[in-house]
Amino acid sequence: MTVDLEFTPKQKRPAGQRCCDPVVYPDVDREQAIRMAEVAKALGDPIRLQLVDVLRKHAGKVCVCELVPLFEISQPTLSHHLAKLRTAGVVDSERRGLWAYYYVIPGALAELSAWLS
C-alpha cells in the first residue's frame, strides 16, 4: 500500500527494447493522497456534490430544513450525506435550537483543488 522507493526493474525486457522512459514516481506522497482521496470520495456522489455547491455558494450557514426539500431523498438519507461530508472534513455544523446549520469548512477543498489545477 506504500510507495516502493527501492524499486529496481525485475522483469526482463525483450532484448534491445524498452517499453518507455524510466520510471516516474508520484509527486504526491501517500499521506497527501489519502487526505485528498478522502475529500474526493466525499464529493463522489451527485447529491453530496450539489450539497457542497449550495453550501459553498451561500454566504454563511444553511439550515438543514432548507436543504431537505431540494433533493428527492428522505430526510435521514440527507442527514447521512451531511454526516459523511462532516466525517471527511468538508463541512461542519452548528445547532441553534431546533435547527442545524451546515457550512463548508474554509480551505477544506484547497489541497485537492490545487492538485487538480
Partner DNA sequence: ACTCCAGATCGACAGTCATCTATATACATA
Partner DNA sequence: TATGTATATAGATGACTGTCGATCTGGAGT
Which residues of the shown chain bind a copy of itself in the complex (CB under 8 A)?
A: 1-4, 7, 9-11, 14, 19-21, 23-28, 30, 33-34, 36-38, 40-50, 53-54, 57-58, 60-63, 65-66, 69-73, 98-99, 101, 109, 112-113, 115-117
What is the C-alpha to C-alpha distance for residues 97 and 1, in angstroms, rounded to an integer? 45
* Count of alpha carbons within 13 angstroms of residue 99, beta-carbon side: 11
Considering the complex, state which of residue 41 and residue 80 has its C-beta at the smaller distance from a copy of itself.
41
Helices (H), the chain: 30-42, 46-57, 64-67, 75-87, 110-116
Contact code string over 79-98 relative to DNA, x by CB under 7 A:
xxxxxx--------x---xx
| Placement of cell 510507495 in the chain | 3
Considering the complex, state which of residue 75 and residue 113 has its C-beta at the smaller distance from DNA.
75
Q: How far is the CB of 85 from DNA (least distance, A)?
A: 10
What is the C-alpha to C-alpha distance for residues 84 and 75, in angstroms, rounded to an integer? 14
